[in-house]
């Protein structure tokens, strides 16, 4: 079977990234008979200066573009998901969520947990800065006790997160979600299922040509 490696670069506080994670999961399923899409979850901080504890939603009201809400709602409806801003009390610092994700070596577990984290935030307003919440979610996804304890008792993974983000910025990535396929082809911003599928299929053909 053909294998395509997809780096999914995203931030947990980005609603477009939530839609994108759901979309790429669907694409993985659609292509599974011909292509094994191996998704590597990569971190990004849209607002690196958000302090621990987060900031109020009102501080970000002026960062949205006119019409963006309608576009977001439309894209979410395509994937059959809802984004519930009413239950979100603060815009969190997402470093701890990224750190936990980076500590997981199995890429499938990593992606599945990342999808649960971002879904919990955008649909139910969970505090994704909370180590208690993140560790509980990790247990539900059968993440090893060793990894969870490492997350809870050390700061391991922080340097990895910052290094990955620095690498992304050095590659002029400033929009998320961004897909980097087979470490060669970079595609920025949320795109349709059809477009992402074509990118992946093309990469699979190039790999075998």
The string of DSSP codes covering 171-203 is: TT--SSSEEEETTTEEEES---HHHHHHHHHHH
pLDDT at 193: 97
| Of residues 70 and 157, more confidently modeled | 157
Record the tokens describing residue 6, joined without a space: 């997809």
**How far is the C-alpha of 15 from the C-alpha of 143, rounded, in Å?**
25
Average pLDDT on 51-69 reads 73
- Confidence category of residue 208, pLDDT binned at 50, 70, 90: low
pLDDT at 176: 97
Model confidence at 65: pLDDT above 70 = no
pLDDT at 207: 73
Model confidence at 87: pLDDT above 70 = yes
Record the tokens describing residue 1, joined without a space: 């079977």
Reference 136, options 157, 155, 154, 151; nearest CA is: 151
pLDDT at 158: 97
In 11-57, DSSP assigns E strands to: 35-43, 55-56
| Of residues 117 and 65, more confidently modeled | 117
Average pLDDT on 106-117 reads 97
Distances (CA, A) of 49 to 52, 55, 94, 169, 191: 9, 10, 11, 15, 28
pLDDT at 64: 54
| Topology of the domain covering 2-208 | Glutaredoxin (3.40.30)
């Amino acid at each position: 079977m053909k294998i395509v490696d997809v780096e999914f670069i995203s931030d947990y506080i980005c609603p477009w990234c939530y839609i994108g994670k759901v979309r790429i999961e669907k694409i993985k399923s659609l292509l599974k008979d011909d292509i094994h899409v191996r998704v590597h979850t990569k971190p990004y901080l849209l607002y690196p200066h958000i302090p621990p504890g987060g900031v109020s939603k009102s501080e970000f009201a002026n960062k949205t573009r006119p019409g963006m809400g309608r576009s977001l709602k439309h894209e979410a409806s395509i994937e059959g998901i809802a984004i519930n801003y009413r239950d979100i009390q603060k815009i969190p610092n997402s470093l701890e969520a990224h750190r936990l994700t980076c500590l997981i070596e199995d890429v499938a577990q990593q992606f599945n947990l990342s999808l649960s984290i971002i879904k919990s935030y955008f649909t139910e307003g969970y505090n994704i800065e909370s180590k208690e919440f993140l560790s509980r979610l990790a247990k539900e996804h059968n993440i090893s006790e060793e990894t969870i304890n490492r997350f809870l008792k050390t700061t391991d993974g922080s340097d990895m997160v910052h290094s990955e983000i620095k690498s992304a910025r050095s590659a002029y990535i400033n929009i998320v979600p961004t897909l980097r396929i087979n470490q060669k082809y970079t595609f920025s911003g949320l795109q349709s299922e059809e477009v992402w599928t074509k990118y992946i299929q093309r990469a699979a053909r190039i790999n075998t040509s």
